[in-house]
Structure 1
């Protein structure tokens, strides 16, 4: 049994057709000016002859309007095309030929070779100009898809299966959907058969195939008239062989679920799950019939049976997963299960009555898969994907930031959890993620958050790192109500109004331990296949708890130094020495702090690695000084001192800077640029008003736009860092990367960054010495040649010592061992 597929241009007279002796029907593709507008499938007697009039009558009775999409403008979103493949180079070549013929061309094309057994796929990819070849060692389609989302540089990621060839207007259709619906989160395109040469291919298409009609449809919201199970239906939103999603949306939703599409026991469902989550997140999903691909259906009965089995299994695995995580949708999910099993039962019995064994076989295969999908398939697949990630994937490190909950960091600077996941970059944390990624190590960042009720997996948009947000324990919430400032230097300042001294003291002692939920962390570590744990600080209660957990899980535990150089409570002073000695290692870039740790805790030999934090110099781009000052409204003449950071007054030494400022600006010709906000913003505002300091310009905002930060640095002559407490001050390194000479107080870690001798990038003065700070700043302002030499040395020092490539390689050796 076979059907020829015939293109019919509706603007010209239809052709007459003559079927061959082995052709049992015909598939007619209606086109208007080359664009697909309809599809019709008709069984026929073998050898039938169809007149032109008969062919016209058999065309799709409800064609699309054939409206051509407008060419994308200069501001149109960029599209990365992704083909995930495994061991099918012949099909891949056809797919890439179709991509190469697209007009307009895509922003980039990525081929992800999933667990390759040989280099045939790489050789095919290399034959096409502009194709980027990636390898995902973990077998499983959603592992490959997630790698593509992380590495893509386009704003939209369009996925093709290797057995699908894009029609000539496919890219135009995607751009058309984006132009028609600028707010969309995802696109599902039309899928037609590329051939109908076998009985299985014909049977699949006669049962419905992947077709969704010729009209553009916008899915949005949680209700759809006439559909009581929307948005939970089986594949109602589209198919993974022809779908596109905004990159930031995919990352915000945590990417594809890697427990789906893993092969046995669960060979599908990732597309259903992600497209459903797009709609559940309140984002529009558009079905775009102008974005057409031609799919090679399964050619034999056994392959088709496995596909139907996987459809049923995947759908019910999706139902199982979603039922656990989406209580609001449970009534619709129960309705979906009842409707689906009843429908498959009717199709199986109808096939028997109508003597259509192909339909009976298809329905029974889906029923078998569906029953299996309800009987623990998703749980088994989750365990399998975790084992694959641990044994076959890139080595994975879990990174645990400092602080009880992430809101303690975000709220003082006016940021949200979405800002953290989608916009925040730089700093030690995301610098580590970038550096480790470049060294082939995957990062999983685990935070505790008061804004989530259950564990939530997302992906960091700027770096692609996995993000987990976990709710803290209820006991922590009880303790936190007794604290005004859990990070205060003493118990008195930490106590909340109305709390007893004893209650506040106990809460301050217990809070760092109670916020961490080891049972939830354990699940994350196992699900992500983590091989090591890295805590931001060793002088923190969470580190003590994680060391104990790591020993139970037989996972190595490390910690870095980012400024925490003291214990806060009696319990920490008792527990900390044992925790430090039991930890696998510490990463301390500051020599003075490393010496303090050796004296106080006596870690074993070789346990401390002197690795600095990374900074990508390319992220710091300067502009002409006059242009920067003009943009900031500063006078072009005169001298400018800059400071950038969080307005945490005591650690950052802003009181020292204010005390020193009258001496720095004694002639009234020096300006001070302050950029940043934080918990001390109110104090700083009051002090500036009370002291009436001249020449001070303060932008009270935590700025995420790198161009704004770079503009402030470009406008300055000198950068000043008056801190009392630091670990690795990123703002200082960014200023040096911008070619600014620096004057910094001798806080922990600063001297190792600035340097000594001929290669120093600035001047280091004693901590809390405002007179020395003022004198050093004035000396540099008065000697432009020396300032220029120090600035050039600063830029060279950053490039040589703090590049992500160098730091990432050192971190891989320290954390993974290879």
Structure 2
């Protein structure tokens, strides 16, 4: 749960500048206040000395606290680091170094220690035709500090042998390659799930990088409470090179804050969100999630009518969160489990992605009712007020951005996708049924 003693204010990414102003890219880095003499690239990729505009994730005793920004000058990295440290103390209310006692910070969850003989975690990366990105992703995954891991790459309906050859030549002894010929992210996730040997399955995307402590934070959360069936983590931008990438962060991004939270089926009455308990998007994203293997297998895996690569464009992660919680388990968000995502780089790709978010959410709601028809009445009661609040929040968020016109357009695209979502799910179900029948003929 959110802890009242955790008073740090999460910093948002800087708002995008207006279209008439030349865009200034921002270099994304990490600043550890225990070692402020250097900045590091995301995903444990080593020290960097950036100049220009910089966005820094601030850590203290390993915990992520928030984001701060500053502008550096070429050849003067020390001044930039001092500016970022000052911003951390000023904006994030970080204690002065002399009073910052080591150890867990007040209000942090997930502080349970992982035993030396802890459970095996299977890391599953589903990919399709993204060789260069996949290589960087795997390098970060293989740099995780948790010792009991196996890594599986699921090559989903590839158009060539690039991924197979990459794994064979560069990672043969450390990564298992699995081929899934039928397109669809949910199907690829299920293929990885079927091959997994671990008690925990952790998922990330091929366009993401993970923190060295990512798996450890996930496993610690599971170890802290047997009722936790799913853990999600903090997702931050790996780069802000283009206006579209920063517009995505302004619109909402993937980050869910810097305070831990737990959710159960009976939490809250929907006062702050009329769509509860259906509003599972607040829990996290499939780019950074882990599930108890026996729990997700017991639920039948991921619904293969959902997910990227199907008419629904997404929603398989949301449906998994919902079904885990509806089955009586807790879904936990732990910001210490950090992943870095490379957002879409062009305006056209961004608009397509946001439209897909809407389609996926509408498809997820439809799938939830299909799986549990008794939920149609409580969902129908919540939809009108929930959608009104959802749409108002999108307009407010978009209106505060420098690229307000673009933001409002994104809001409309997402709403259009939401309206199409139920149809997309039914189309996807019918298509899967047709393919199954043809395959049996």
Distance 1:58 1:122, change over 3 A: farther
- Correspondence for 1:37: 64
Shift of 1:263: 2.5
Cα-to-partner distance string for 1:243-274 (whole Å, 9 max, x where unaligned): 11111111111110111114352210000001
**Alignment counterpart, residue 343 of structure 1, candidates 378, 387, 390:** 390
- Correspondence for 1:170: 214
- Correspondence for 2:205: 161
Distance 1:247 1:76, change over 3 A: same
- Correspondence for 1:11: 34
Q: Is the 8 A contact 1:256 1:270 kept in 2?
A: yes
2:335 equivalent to 1:289 = yes
Q: For the residues of structure 2 that align with 1:53 and 1:283, how far apart are their CA atoms?
A: 40
Cα-to-partner distance string for 1:752-802 (whole Å, 9 max, x where unaligned): xxxxxxxxxxxxxxxxxxxxxxxxxxxxxxxxxxxxxxxxxxxxxxxxxxx
**Alignment counterpart, residue 359 of structure 1, candidates 400, 407, 413:** 407
Cα-to-partner distance string for 1:64-117 (whole Å, 9 max, x where unaligned): 827895653255322111000000011111111112111223431111000111
Distance 1:6 1:151, change over 3 A: closer
Larger RCO, structures 1/2 (Cα 8 Å, 6+ apart):
2
Q: For the residues of structure 2 that align with 1:198 and 1:205, how far apart are their CA atoms?
A: 11
- Correspondence for 2:87: 55
Distance 1:12 1:302, change over 3 A: same
Q: Is the 8 A contact 1:163 1:295 kept in 2?
A: yes
Cα-to-partner distance string for 1:251-309 (whole Å, 9 max, x where unaligned): 11111011111435221000000111000000111112111111111111111111110
- Correspondence for 1:88: 130
**Alignment counterpart, residue 223 of structure 1, candidates 264, 267, 270:** 267
Q: For the residues of structure 1 that align with 2:26 and 2:317, how far apart are their CA atoms?
A: 29
- Correspondence for 1:622: none
**Alignment counterpart, residue 151 of structure 2, candidates 103, 106, 109:** 109
Shift of 1:349: 7.5
Cα-to-partner distance string for 1:394-429 (whole Å, 9 max, x where unaligned): xxxxxxxxxxxxxxxxxxxxxxxxxxxxxxxxxxxx
Distance 1:51 1:248, change over 3 A: closer
- Correspondence for 2:178: 134
Shift of 1:32: 2.4
Q: Is the 8 A contact 2:200 2:293 kept in 1?
A: yes
Q: For the residues of structure 2 that align with 1:200 and 1:60, how far apart are their CA atoms?
A: 27
Which structure would you say has the larger Rg? 1
Matches within 5 A, 1:345-424: 345=392, 347-348=394-395, 351=398, 356-374=404-422, 376-387=423-434, 389-390=435-436
Q: For the residues of structure 2 that align with 1:105 and 1:45, how far apart are their CA atoms?
A: 38
Q: Is the 8 A contact 1:28 1:59 kept in 2?
A: no
Q: How many residues align structurally?
A: 389
Q: Is the 8 A contact 2:210 2:338 kept in 1?
A: yes
Distance 1:87 1:75, change over 3 A: same
Shift of 1:208: 2.4
Cα-to-partner distance string for 1:129-175 (whole Å, 9 max, x where unaligned): 22111011101111111111111111111111111111011111112
- Correspondence for 1:209: 253
TM-score, scaled to structure 1 = 0.44
Structure 1, unaligned stretches of length 5 or more?
391-525, 532-554, 556-818
SS at match of 1:370: helix
- Correspondence for 1:190: 234
- Aligned residues: CA RMSD: 3.2
2:378 equivalent to 1:331 = yes
Q: Is the 8 A contact 1:5 1:195 kept in 2?
A: yes
Matches within 5 A, 1:506-521: none
Shift of 1:241: 0.6
Q: For the residues of structure 1 that align with 2:94 and 2:357, how far apart are their CA atoms?
A: 28
Shift of 1:197: 1.1
Shift of 1:11: 2.8
Q: For the residues of structure 2 that align with 1:351 and 1:319, how far apart are their CA atoms?
A: 24
TM-score, scaled to structure 2 = 0.79
- Correspondence for 1:78: 120
Q: For the residues of structure 1 that align with 2:109 and 2:323, how far apart are their CA atoms?
A: 30
Q: For the residues of structure 1 that align with 2:394 and 2:334, how far apart are their CA atoms?
A: 29
Distance 1:217 1:345, change over 3 A: closer
Q: For the residues of structure 2 that align with 1:381 and 1:341, how far apart are their CA atoms?
A: 27
Q: Is the 8 A contact 2:134 2:206 kept in 1?
A: yes
Shift of 1:223: 3.0
Shift of 1:62: 8.0
Q: For the residues of structure 1 that align with 2:411 and 2:94, how far apart are their CA atoms?
A: 28
Shift of 1:218: 1.8
Q: For the residues of structure 2 that align with 1:68 and 1:246, how far apart are their CA atoms?
A: 16
Distance 1:30 1:202, change over 3 A: same
Distance 1:230 1:76, change over 3 A: farther
Distance 1:125 1:353, change over 3 A: closer
Shift of 1:213: 1.9
Q: Is the 8 A contact 1:262 1:381 kept in 2?
A: no
- Correspondence for 1:317: 363
Q: Is the 8 A contact 2:190 2:301 kept in 1?
A: yes
- Correspondence for 1:123: 165
**Alignment counterpart, residue 272 of structure 1, candidates 315, 318, 332:** 318
Q: Is the 8 A contact 1:344 1:366 kept in 2?
A: no
Q: For the residues of structure 2 that align with 1:350 and 1:220, how far apart are their CA atoms?
A: 28
Q: For the residues of structure 2 that align with 1:370 and 1:96, how far apart are their CA atoms?
A: 33
